[in-house]
Structure 1
């Protein structure tokens, strides 16, 4: 099976995709109620109707979907065989769409519980993913993240079969994002790019994606938040997010994401907000182990002082991250999220258990280090 995605991008790029619908009879469109009414999505639905497709619309995906939410959706679909799954939304919507592309492919051996247990599927149905936020990069990753309420954590289901057939990067679909969402999802994209760039399993392919993505992000993140109708900035952020996802597919995130997981799993802190709080202390902690990579990233900032030495550049990058989070008016302390010092032991234990990410950190990490970082932002 071909697992390379065809990418469609640009203003009004959804207005003529009838050629993708040839031979498709049963379509599942995963979105949410706020997005279904947008003009580009209505255009897409009109094309599906004109092509004679039967369309099942799922618009009930919550912000942090659990395995129970996906099970409920599967019951709604009643085991129907699907020719095309379309996801239009943020990372949660896209993750659910990717899972449905496996679970609605007619492979009776694949179940949701099996995927959660690590079983590997053999097939998927055709998929088209259309992000409406610029941060998760879900459209470019082989991952789907589900909350597991019983364990107060999240689990990542990973298989290259979830890489979609088609991706559409449509900037006008992101202009209705509130500034705070645009800011926090943008920081999520930054974390993907920079964590993958500094991961111990980084490689020339992931580095190339990360460098291109960071250059676009540094040039556009603040402009996209301040000027929501700036389609060039919004498209640059969509591409930065996509490159972040591609970086994950070839390398992997590490400390910020490991420490943000328990914040989301138990306290339901939005993922981008948790990452924003953790970005600066985590990067300050690992900086001595990746000075050269920090300096390379610093050089991509539009106003970077290129005459600085590597050590000074590495410090300057951490200072830039700190200033950026403040300028975007995102939280910087756990207390702003009603997380108390009494919660730090739980958070540290939850983070150290995310070994698939902790092992990617470019230095040895113990539970005491995680406690120190959480304490520094209490």
Structure 2
């Protein structure tokens, strides 16, 4: 899959985007109310109004949107005749912007048709601007929606949704609270390490994953602890982007398959669910990917080069566990009030995510999935 987006990157990179707006008569800005109030976003809106005849703003995208949320947004659009869709926000906003760039095209499939598997044939021009560093949505062909009736999430996937332009602007992420920076950063880490070890990994996705992990390992804790450190924030934006690009060329596996039910039924934020699962899932797959785990370990700033591959693979899992704790993210479901009586549902729902389960680098049975989930209930382990 080719990613043909033009990437604009760096401090104040949005100060003049008039060259992107030439010939555009109608713009649709997709965001949420919190992001809309950021001064840099207000400046972007002012710039749009200066160069584009008509600017409509959708600021009602909720976290973890459902298909009903998107249907309501589409129904409320003042016009579906737009020349450019601009998404500014976290992964949920960017996913909705990608969908709207398709749904705003005359004769496009309906949202229900897309959910049923029909593929879009075209989209309007699009610019995606992430304000969190985690989902990598700006580089993926995916839009993830919650399906409340089934208590899970589904992905609408098509390369048509990849944007024309991406802007990685570190000052837009400095207002992100520490707990959001932590959980979204772990989401990016999951994308990178899962794609790197997936059955469908390949030299292209591996290259993206290795570059992204090197940036993430170097900067994730600095970005969380020093929110105005623009170098660290830009590193994390690039790590997130590379994670999305790795997804576009490979795919995630066990962490994401097992986290979908946690988001769909219990409405845990996606990054938090991934943080809870990261160590246990990586410990389970480690024996099948020792060499790749050793490669990833070697990217750590304080890697011990004297270790053999087996020791490095164990040390990487230990690093994941310690990182989640240092970032003050939960590492069990018990801490969130979810008990082991939910195990039958969780196991069945995770195994249903076959598009990701097939990417796991080792055989996975229902008992294996149950055993991994069970590690998230420490007081109930044998």
TM-score tier (shorter): over 0.9
Shift of 1:52: 3.3
Q: Are residues 1:232 and 2:269 paired? A: no
Task: Give 2:289's aligned residue.
Answer: 290
Give yes or no for contact 2:3–2:139 (8 Å, CA) kept in 1. Answer: no
Correspondence 1:1-378 to 2 at 5 A: 4-78=4-78, 80-106=80-106, 108-378=107-377
Give yes or no for contact 1:214–1:297 (8 Å, CA) kept in 2. Answer: yes
Give yes or no for contact 2:21–2:52 (8 Å, CA) kept in 1. Answer: no
1:44-72 per-residue CA deviation (whole Å, 9 max, x = no partner) reads 11111111331111111110101111111
Shift of 1:284: 0.3
CA RMSD for the aligned pairs? 0.9
Task: Give 2:380's aligned residue.
Answer: none
Compared CA separation, residues 212 and 179, structure 1 to 2 (3 A): same
Shift of 1:41: 1.1
For residues 369 and 53 of structure 1, what CA distance do their matches in structure 2 show? Answer: 57
Q: Which runs of 5+ in 1 are unaligned?
A: none
Shift of 1:366: 1.1
Give yes or no for contact 2:26–2:52 (8 Å, CA) kept in 1. Answer: no
Q: Which runs of 5+ in 2 are unaligned?
A: 378-382
Shift of 1:265: 0.3
Q: Equivalent residue of 1:362, what SS?
A: coil
1:312-347 per-residue CA deviation (whole Å, 9 max, x = no partner) reads 000000001011001001001101111101011101
Q: Which moved more, 1:162-171 or 1:31-40?
A: 31-40
Q: Equivalent residue of 2:121, what SS?
A: coil
For residues 261 and 7 of structure 1, what CA distance do their matches in structure 2 show? Answer: 30
Give yes or no for contact 1:3–1:161 (8 Å, CA) kept in 2. Answer: no
Q: Equivalent residue of 2:208, what SS?
A: helix
Give yes or no for contact 2:108–2:121 (8 Å, CA) kept in 1. Answer: no
Shift of 1:109: 4.2
1:152-200 per-residue CA deviation (whole Å, 9 max, x = no partner) reads 1111000001100000001000001110000000000000000000001
Q: Equivalent residue of 2:284, what SS?
A: helix
Give yes or no for contact 2:181–2:224 (8 Å, CA) kept in 1. Answer: yes
For residues 77 and 332 of structure 2, what CA distance do their matches in structure 1 show? Answer: 42
Shift of 1:38: 1.5
Q: Which moved more, 1:332-341 or 1:259-268?
A: 332-341
1:268-314 per-residue CA deviation (whole Å, 9 max, x = no partner) reads 00000000010000000000000000000000000000110000000
Q: Equivalent residue of 1:55, what SS?
A: strand
For residues 39 and 170 of structure 1, what CA distance do their matches in structure 2 show? Answer: 13
Shift of 1:79: 5.0
For residues 108 and 67 of structure 2, what CA distance do their matches in structure 1 show? Answer: 18
Give yes or no for contact 1:31–1:93 (8 Å, CA) kept in 2. Answer: yes
Give yes or no for contact 2:88–2:131 (8 Å, CA) kept in 1. Answer: yes
Compared CA separation, residues 373 and 138, structure 1 to 2 (3 A): same
1:13-43 per-residue CA deviation (whole Å, 9 max, x = no partner) reads 0101100001111111011111112122122
For residues 80 and 372 of structure 2, what CA distance do their matches in structure 1 show? Answer: 48
